[in-house]
Amino acid sequence: MRSVADAHPSGAQPPTPEWDVMINEGRTFITPYPWLSLFPGIAFFLTEAALNLSGDGLRDAVYPRWRGEH
């Protein structure tokens, strides 16, 4: 009997680039080609920082009394 996970795969399929996979595969070539991990890492960091700041701004707009009470 097949499981539901086998019948309905989740996540990106192999030809689709993912930042975590790109960073991990770049570790092998970190000395001669540091940009293979550096650029996906920077993109990941900037995206996460933007999402965090957007979430903080949205929270402050929706709940103005919580401002500064972290």
Name the token pair of 31. 């000395």
What is the predicted pLDDT for the residue at 1?
Answer: 43
Residue 43: other Cβ atoms inside 10 A: 13
State the average pLDDT for the chain: 79
Bigger pLDDT: 36 vs 4 = 36
In terms of Cβ atoms closer than 10 Å to its own Cβ (0-12, 13-18, 19+), residue 40 is: buried
Bigger pLDDT: 33 vs 7 = 33
Bigger pLDDT: 2 vs 56 = 56
Confidence label for 2 from pLDDT (cuts 50, 70 and 90): very low
For the chain, what are the domain ranges?
A: 27-64
Per residue, what are the HEC states of 1-52?
CCCHHHHCCCCCCCCCCCHHHHHHHHHHHCCCCCHHHHHHHHHHHHHHHHHH
Bigger pLDDT: 54 vs 3 = 54
pLDDT at 11 over 90: no
